[in-house]
Amino acid sequence: MTYTAPIAVALDAPSLETAARWAGLVTPHVSTVKIGLELYLRYGPEAVASVRGASNVAVFLDLKLNDIPATVAGAVRSVARLRPDLLTVHAVGGKAAVRAAVEAAPDTRIVAVTVLTSLGDRDLDTIGLAGPVSDAVRRLSVLAVEAGARGVVCSPREVAAVRAEVGPGITLITPGVRPAGSEAHDQARVATPEEALRAGADLLVIGRPITSAADPGAAAAAIGASLRKASVASA
């Protein structure tokens, strides 16, 4: 039986056709495909239908909603009909906004984004958010879970600390995951897939290391094989 890796492939494609092709190539090997803001704004609901196809792959709609509670609730209701398995909101929107999202889509796992993985301690100082990053991530994680979020997005570097705060029942999702030797691009807080999984992540977001490969399906399969090997070794 094919091993399905706990990876959400970020389908940051220039066209819907490319995104659907990537999804078709990787879905035998990964559990989830992720639709970001750019792809969704360009193609709307069609993006979800196209990447889901006829497969049972989970769809992660990564819109990072952040507004007043009433607006967040309305936005969540408008996309809940697409049946995304996961939908992101920003934890910095506050408890009321996160709670509004949860109540607006009871059948969707609402995931709270803590501190973007492109940001470091100096960035938090600039925008006026109390740091360091690790402390801010823990605070926002607790806030979101108390508001009903069933998942949290944080970098691999904060996974262990967040798990200690929120317990075992919350899905921890980690962007900033790069196989050894890959470029960090615009990510400031990164780790390898094996490191992220070992730290306690449940779902690893990986984009360009897979989608920029000559064969995205083979790249996804290779990372999945490495994760399976690491998981067996640590068992």
Strands 58-65 and 151-153: unpaired
Task: Give dist(CA 221, CA 211) in Å, integer.
Answer: 12
Residue 64 known to be catalytic: yes
Q: What is the dihedral of CA 87, 148, 146, 76, to 10 degrees?
A: 50
Tell me which DSSP letter residue 94 carries. Answer: -
Task: Give dist(CA 74, CA 67) in Å, integer.
Answer: 10
Give the list of residues 6+ apart from residue 183 with CB closer than 8 angstroms, or none: 208
Tokens of 108: 């969707």
The catalytically annotated residue of 34, 64, 95, 229 is: 64
- Which residues are known catalytic residues? 64
